[in-house]
Amino acid sequence: MAGGVSSSGGHSVSSAYAAVRNWLLAPSWITIAIFMLGPVLLMAVYSFLTKEFRGGVLWEFSLASYDQFFFDRGLFGDEPPKLHWTYLAIYLRSFIQASVATLLCLAIGFPTAYFIATRPASTRMVWLFLITIPYWVNLLIRTVSMKFLIRDTGPINEWLISFGLLEAPIKMVNTDFAVQLGLFYSYLPFMVLPIYAAVERYDFALSEAAADLYADRWTTLWLVLLPAVRPGIIAGCILVFVPSLGAFLAPDLLGGAKNFMIGSLIEEQFKGAAGNWPFGAACAMVLLTMVLVAVFLYARQQAANARGGG
């Protein structure tokens, strides 16, 4: 080459920011690394430590927490280990509850999102506005409101009795149904918003093309629309499933002691002298692993989509 090779970047606008990129990113990086990533790693370490009786830990390596989680060695710890169902059952129940909540949210959320996305621009904004409000309302307050509504002496039961439709109140609070309802109600907007965004970008000429090629409306939905908006559906499912799995408020307030879920189990371990920090840390690690697997599968799916889309 004839002249001197000039440095790359040069005067382009991006180079001004590129020069200070690390300074721009540093505050967020450092904050999250120290107060989020660090603590999570520390928690992982804690799960391998020994319990101290006053609620703290002894810095001695131990697998006791995981052993306690997975295996039952009898009252005195001298029987041959067999699978310990107490905790696994809690996780399994949480997993099922979260899955059912996700499916319910999808069943109601998809038609709702689709319906909103196909409104004319003016009314669409009103619907979207209405869906957004609950997302901004304090989750605790929403859960308490639900509890108020469905409890034995709550408006639903009182009304049904006063209309003579019931003799005695239906028991809804402290049932699996209540927890399910609570999860569904808590995270429904998380399902609607990403699906709405996907349907809004959907090109309805594709539906017309399908109809032109003799597909009826449900075939079109199944073969053309759903595959096209699948990324939105998957995003919605992740956004509902992950918080449902570790939910604390809905199971605690609506489920009561019998319908223990992961969140309550973990919380128990950090309360007062009865707590067991290493065990709580181990429980949290198991939950985190489940969630990260879900997020990882999602990310891989997204990457595959991106590749497929060119």
Nearer Cβ to other proteins (131/233): 131
Strand segments, DSSP code E, in the chain are 50-51, 57-58, 71-72, 82-83
Rounded CA gap, 50 and 30, in Å? 30
Nearer Cβ to other proteins (75/307): 307
Nearer Cβ to other proteins (40/77): 40
Q: How far is the CB of 74 from other proteins (least distance, A)?
A: 29
Which residues are within 8 A (CB) of 255 and not within 5 positions of it... i.e. 6 or more apart? 174, 175, 176, 178, 179, 182, 261
Of 164, 223, 230, 188, nearest in space to 101 by CA: 188
Q: How far is the CB of 220 from other proteins (least distance, A)?
A: 7
Spacing of C-alpha 105 from chain mean position: 12
Q: How far is the CB of 310 from other proteins (least distance, A)?
A: 19
Rounded CA gap, 269 and 55, in Å? 9
Please, are residues 62 and 197 in contact by the beta-carbon 8 Å criterion?
no
Burial class (CB in 10 A: 0-12, 13-18, 19+), 163: exposed
DSSP secondary structure letters along 11-57: TSHHHHHHHTHHHHHHHHHHHHIIIIIHHHHHHHHHTTSEE-TTS-E
Nearer Cβ to other proteins (72/154): 154
Q: How far is the CB of 86 from other proteins (least distance, A)?
A: 19
Q: How far is the CB of 63 from other proteins (least distance, A)?
A: 18
Q: How far is the CB of 71 from other proteins (least distance, A)?
A: 22
Nearer Cβ to other proteins (28/78): 28
Nearer Cβ to other proteins (82/201): 201
Nearer Cβ to other proteins (70/202): 202
**Is 58 strand, coil or helix?**
strand
Q: How far is the CB of 253 from other proteins (least distance, A)?
A: 7
Of 255, 118, 135, nearest in space to 191 by CA: 135
